[in-house]
Structure 1
Amino acid sequence: MKIGHLSDLHLDINQEHVEEDIVKVLCNTIKEKDWDILLISGDISNHMDDTLSILHEIEKQTGRPVHFVPGNHDLARTISMGSDDVLASYLADKSVPIGKPAIYGDIAIVGALGWYDYSYGPHTHTADLLARLKGSLWYDGGHINFKDGDIDISERFLRQLADDLAKVKDKQVWVMTHFVPYESNIRYIDTTWNICNAYMGSESVGELLDIHENVRYVSFGHTHTRAGVKESDQKTIVLNPLGYFDEWKTDSFEKELENVFVIVEWKK
């Protein structure tokens, strides 16, 4: 089975910088690729309606299954909905395998929201301070309004992931998330960025994945660092996000999409 993977498309932001109709290019490129299942690990757009519309259009045009987990940008509040209601809309969508793993014979696709618990942030900063700093340093501070705090959200979805993994203990599993589950994929650059690492993911997710030998593949994004596909004896990591226009190697969406579109031949 061939699994396609994309993440961090940021279509609305990137459309402002290119003349191409990037949704059209996206759909055409996806249709031309040879894959059986497509996974998108978050951050399609800043608007729930746009993200879901694009997902459904890809499914319609390809006739093949597409699975998605929301990233922080997809979860932005709307004029009429808070982030909790936005998340509920995603969880109710058939394309989102959180709480309902997608089964394909002896293969399972498990989605994890992941979120972040400040475990990658500076240990010199308290959780309260990191929560306050998020308001001025990070997109989520002005656009995400979950009723619960980040650590509570992270713990809740860690329990959900544990429950979902228990449902598929007899399967070979691909876990898709948006947030970073392994510290080895965290960049420590300068004081400000090192604070922002608090909002990148949770080491507890990686620890949970590592105790499940049937988790063969893990894909994510969020960090905008392209590591490609890295294989090990236990699992394969897929991290190849598109990211923002000013992070690209070219000025063409079509060329960048070709650079980041990963297709993995499932090795059972």
Structure 2
Amino acid sequence: MKIGVMSDLHIDSNAKKLAPGQTYDYLLAELLYNQEIDLLLLAGDVSSDYHDTFAFLDRMRDHNVSKIQFVPGNHDFWSIRNHEEDTDRIYQLFKERDENPVGNPFLIGDKWAVVGNPGWYDYGFASDRYTIAEFSKKKLKVGGWNDRRYVHWSKDDRAVATAMQGELESDLKEVGDRKIIMMTHVVTHPQFVIPLPHPVYDYYNAFLGSKSYMQLYDRYPIVHSIMGHVHFRKMLYEEDTTFYCACLGSARHWYTEDPYIEMAYTMEEFTIDN
């Protein structure tokens, strides 16, 4: 089986790069077809409104090129134009979709399983010179983290991160002795955040991932680990695990002006024997 990895399409903010008549779902379907991808692991932030993300996933299903497993990113929980503020309800709607692996690991034969969860941030990758109360405000003089305006969990961030870790562990246990492909939106490894000290990211690293998730690699046979969120394109091999961060990201950081070429540059691929 040939597996493709990608995240952070941001189809709304990157729409200006499309030629007349182009759409990101069509371009992605074309890429998957050309690369003969059997399964796409899409690690969140398709758009900044869950309605648009649902519509994109529906169109990808209709293209019927590759199977897709998807975990939402923080932007996918937003719904600015509809002023929706019940993020727990939106998360439940994602869990009810066919391409959702949360509570529903995607089994690949008897040997492999995809376990996925959006994950959330526990502030663990930031500097300890800030307090939990300062992190919870999600705002410094240099700017603010927009989840403070558009994401409204019934629990605080660290409690959400803990709850999502619990969901991950439950699914990791469920797949038994299969080799694991784990997918989150947030970062789970310190090599994928900004090195500290840093005048800005001493604070903003707090919202990039969860340091507590690192313990999962010691407990479970995670062979491939997929992340997104940080808009890096980076791979790392460490202690029998390959880590992937394949973010299309913001067009202002692209190498070219062509969205298809950028997606082709971005997508990582690997094969497994199923």
TM-score band, normalised by shorter chain: over 0.9
* Cα distance change of structure 1 residues 239 and 226 upon mapping to structure 2, 3 Å threshold: same
1:32 match:
34
Alpha-carbon distance in 2 for matches of 1:164, 1:6: 22
1:70 match:
72
Could you say what secondary structure the match of 1:263 adopts?
A: strand
1:146 deviation in Å?
1.2
Alpha-carbon distance in 1 for matches of 2:94, 2:64: 21
Asked whether the equivalents of residues 2 and 36 of structure 2 are also in contact (C-alpha less than 8 Å), the reply is: yes
Over the matched positions of the two proteins, sequence identity in percent amounts to 27
Paired letter, 1:45: S
Using the size of structure 2 for normalisation, the TM-score is 0.91
Alpha-carbon distance in 1 for matches of 2:201, 2:18: 28
Using the size of structure 1 for normalisation, the TM-score is 0.93
Bigger shift: residues 12-21 or 116-125: 12-21
* Cα distance change of structure 1 residues 85 and 238 upon mapping to structure 2, 3 Å threshold: same
Paired letter, 1:121: A
Runs of 5+ consecutive residues of structure 1 not aligned to the other structure: none
Q: Which of 113, 119, 125 is matched with 2:124 structurally?
A: 119
RMSD over equivalenced CA pairs, Å = 1.8
Q: Does 1:158 align with 2:158?
A: no
Alpha-carbon distance in 2 for matches of 1:5, 1:56: 19
Alpha-carbon distance in 1 for matches of 2:65, 2:251: 29
Asked whether the equivalents of residues 49 and 78 of structure 2 are also in contact (C-alpha less than 8 Å), the reply is: yes
What are the residue-to-residue correspondences of 1:1-268 with 2, within 5 Å? Answer: 1-19=1-19, 21-23=22-24, 24-77=26-79, 78-80=82-84, 82-105=86-109, 106-134=111-139, 136-188=143-195, 190-212=198-220, 214-227=221-234, 229-266=235-272
* Cα distance change of structure 1 residues 35 and 72 upon mapping to structure 2, 3 Å threshold: same
Asked whether the equivalents of residues 117 and 201 of structure 1 are also in contact (C-alpha less than 8 Å), the reply is: yes
Alpha-carbon distance in 2 for matches of 1:92, 1:209: 28
Post-superposition, which runs of at least 4 consecutive aligned residues in structure 1 deviate over 6 A?
A: none
Asked whether the equivalents of residues 31 and 61 of structure 1 are also in contact (C-alpha less than 8 Å), the reply is: no
Paired letter, 2:100: V
Alpha-carbon distance in 2 for matches of 1:41, 1:169: 23
